[in-house]
Chain A
Amino acid sequence: MANIKSAFFSALLTLFLGVSVMGLQLESAGIKLGVQVADSHTFWYLGLAALLVFGVQLFRDKLPRLRSDPEKRFEWPEVFKGEQRQRMWMALVIILMLMFPFVSSRGWIDIATLVLIYVMLGLGLNIVVGLAGLLDLGYVGFYAVGAYSYALLHQYLGFSFWEALPLAGGMAALFGFLLGFPVLRLRGDYLAIVTLGFGEIIRLMLNNLTELTGGPNGIGGIPKPTFFGLELSRRVDEGWGTLHEFFGFSYSPVHKVIYLYLLAFLLVLLTLYVIRRFIRMPIGRSWEALREDDIACRSLGLSPTWVKLSAFTLGASFAGFAGSFFAARQGFISPNSFAFIESAIILAIVVLGGMGSQLGVILAAIAMILLPELAREFNEYRMLLFGLMMVVMMVWRPQGLLPMKRPQRRLDTTRLASASTGEASNVK
């Protein structure tokens, strides 16, 4: 009975919330504002939504418990277990990934390259959010710093992609350091809001510093990366020449696309390797320790500010690398590419994949970039669903879809034996 009452109330509330905002549609009519009743579809959908809420609330107790066990971790199926087997599978995936552009179409390679950029961004943000537990809502700011670093270094100093890449990562890291320093001493909520502001400020600055950045018009003519100094274009005026002339094959514009794809793939592999190492190093251990209990960390002499700062700075540097690659691939960048929505997408990738899970982030990036590309009509609802998904995931499955057991440092049994026979007394 109590359920019927609350179900009725919830349904009514849903209807009210919907109708109050969607029932009447505002539209500009010249300098005046007009209003008209929304079309009947809207009301049908609202009625349906209210009915759904009614049903769910009514049978709330009978529905299976939604919140899943957060302790449960993803287990590899038997075929993937063991270091040897995993290495084999990994090699297979790498080979397939390398073969992909040669058997695929230009459109698909382009999408795959885009996915790889987001994988890199997701992995980088995962250091900050997943490993260190810091909510960074302005990650796109560092992405922008990376992209503009390359664009400006090229425009004013004539740097090539390869010369600018490390500097772009370094610049993003520097910005992360300067921003993190004052804020990371404080509670996590402040960091979230300050980074949110930072992302916006970077965009505003890029828009307003017209003389330096071209303002809203952006910067164009950013050259593509070269292959050891050889360019992948039809002809060049200076430098080493072009790739197809050097190796003597005929020019095709697809080569450039394939090359960019392979480069992105290489960068992702590097990122994966570096983060894999980080997790096993003292620095990665301290990130996770801080996420679990910062008071215990301080009692052991770990400086929470420096631990957070290292995660924040290193995370930012990956955004910087990704940004400079993005600038090279697009050839043109403008502040519009770095709106808050991008930060939200990257965060959604990390949340969906499972905070701290590398594989989860990769799969989530594929899903979240590929789906909207496949279903264009869905594009309009993309951000709406991303936002909804973040809420649903936190309520239902905060550990993400594919939470991995973290790799644990184990004490090997041989050392166990030697230590317990008393030999260990001399290690102190």
Chain B
Amino acid sequence: MSESLLYFFQQVINGLTVGSTYALIAIGYTMVYGIIGMINFAHGEIYMIGTYVTFIVVTALASMGIEFLPVVLVTALAISMLVAGSYGYAIERVAYRPVRGSKRLIALISAIGMSIFLQNYMRLAQGPRDLAMPGLISGGWDLSGEGPLALSLSYMQAIIFIATLVSMGALTWFISRSRTGRACRACAQDQGMTSLLGINTNKVIAITFVIGAMLAAVAGFLLGLYYGVVNPMIGFIAGLKAFTAAVLGGIGSIPGAMLGGLILGVTENMTAAYFSTEYKDVVAFTLLCLILLFKPSGILGKPEVEKI
């Protein structure tokens, strides 16, 4: 393969890596939107919390002398999912449930307030600065070519792909097969009817938030290890991008969120590789505007019917 082609494929791999974590975060947006029709602005912050908890656990284990990689990874992932899930649950109880029946603007402001609160809460808890952690997993496979332009897949990237696939598989199984998953789908279709059938819709909504938060924590864990840097602001941009991914794929649709995440990840990486890194973040936003302009229902979404 020619060098430029190798470079191109490398960018695709890198893009898919980041994109799959966007997809994980995007699922949280899409599920909450599907079920209560609102954007959970604080979702990006959950991702940020997940990353911090991962850093804390990994560093704490290292200081206790535990460095056996599988143990470290599993413990960090499990704890950050637990913490993020608890935050997701608490946020829903405190900021969203009391305003659920109100006008949309009120719920939106409450959500954005929660997002600002969490950002600054983390600033106070762990300091405003970047914290860097040395990589745990290095090395990878050379797929083709040699030298600096070789096409390679790092072990970390492979882990990201596998973890994303496993999470998505588990989610799909849960939604389509489990009792609670069925209740979730019913709730998304018609909340009033679902509660008439004796299903506790409050519980279903809470579960939706917890699942979304846990997936965001998985993304936080993966990206945290991949980039090795965290600060209280990372949730802001990641949230914006994951939301773009959700809209791109069609908000409310879970396969859409996956697809949207991957497309966005690749597009962004291509921009960085072929134009300029500075405008990487601008791309996501431009893409968002273009979708909203030409196909607001996204790739896999259904257009909404207004009730009159």
A and B touch in the complex (CB under 8 A): yes
A interface residues with partner B (beta carbon < 8 Å): 13, 16-17, 20-22, 24-28, 31-35, 67, 129, 133, 135, 137, 182-183, 186, 188-190, 192-194, 196-198, 200-201, 204-205, 207-208, 295, 340, 344, 347, 351, 355, 380-381, 383-384, 386-391, 393-395, 398
B127 CB → nearest A CB, Å: 8
A391→B126 contact, CB < 8 A: no
Other-chain residue from A204, A351, A380 in contact with B282 (beta carbon distance below 8 A): A204
**26 cross-chain CB contacts under 8 A:** A20-B79, A20-B83, A21-B49, A24-B59, A26-B127, A28-B129, A31-B134, A32-B134, A33-B134, A35-B63, A133-B105, A135-B109, A188-B105, A192-B41, A193-B39, A194-B285, A197-B284, A197-B285, A198-B285, A208-B278, A295-B306, A340-B236, A383-B116, A384-B123, A387-B119, A390-B116
B113→A189 contact, CB < 8 A: no
Stretch among B152-160, B166-174, B289-297 lining the A interface: B289-297
Bound: A21/B79 CA distance, A: 11
Bound: A381/B60 CA distance, A: 28
A308 CB → nearest B CB, Å: 13
Contacts of B308 in A (CB 8 A): 295
Bound: A360/B223 CA distance, A: 44
B59→A17 contact, CB < 8 A: no
B38→A189 contact, CB < 8 A: yes
Q: Which 6 pairs show the lowest CB-CB distances between chains A and B?
A: A390-B113, A387-B117, A387-B116, A394-B110, A384-B120, A182-B293
Stretch among B9-17, B94-102, B259-267 lining the A interface: B94-102
Closest residue of chain A to B131 (Cβ to Cβ) is A26
Per-residue contact bits, chain B 75-118, to A (CB 8 Å; 1 contact, 0 not): 00001000100110110001100110011111111101111111
Known contacts A35-B56, A183-B289, A387-B114, A189 near B39 by CB under 8 Å: yes
Closest residue of chain A to B290 (Cβ to Cβ) is A182
Other-chain residue from A21, A137, A355, A391 in contact with B125 (beta carbon distance below 8 A): A21
Closest residue of chain B to A32 (Cβ to Cβ) is B134
A200→B281 contact, CB < 8 A: yes
Known contacts A193-B243, A390-B112, A204 near B292 by CB under 8 Å: no
B46 CB → nearest A CB, Å: 12
Q: Is the interface of A mostly helix, strand, loop or mixed?
A: helix
Other-chain residue from B90, B99, B284 in contact with A17 (beta carbon distance below 8 A): B90
A135→B108 contact, CB < 8 A: yes
Contacts of B99 in A (CB 8 A): 394-395, 398
Indicate whether B247 reaches chain A with its CB closer than 8 angstroms: yes
Indicate whether B55 reaches chain A with its CB closer than 8 angstroms: yes
Q: Which residues of chain B from 244 to 283 have any CB-CB distance to chain A below 8 Å in the complex?
A: 244, 247, 278-279, 281-282
Indicate whether B52 reaches chain A with its CB closer than 8 angstroms: yes
Closest residue of chain A to B104 (Cβ to Cβ) is A188
B86→A24 contact, CB < 8 A: no
A395→B110 contact, CB < 8 A: yes
Known contacts A26-B56, A189-B39, A208-B279, A387 near B115 by CB under 8 Å: yes
Beyond A182-B289, A340-B236, A391-B114, 13 extra complex contacts between A and B, CB < 8 Å: A17-B86, A21-B122, A21-B125, A24-B56, A26-B127, A28-B132, A200-B237, A200-B240, A204-B278, A207-B278, A381-B120, A390-B117, A395-B98
Bound: A188/B38 CA distance, A: 10
Contacts of A200 in B (CB 8 A): 236-237, 240, 281, 285
Contacts of B49 in A (CB 8 A): 21
Other-chain residue from B41, B87, B120, B284 in contact with A383 (beta carbon distance below 8 A): B120
Indicate whether B227 reaches chain A with its CB closer than 8 angstroms: no
Bound: A32/B134 CA distance, A: 6
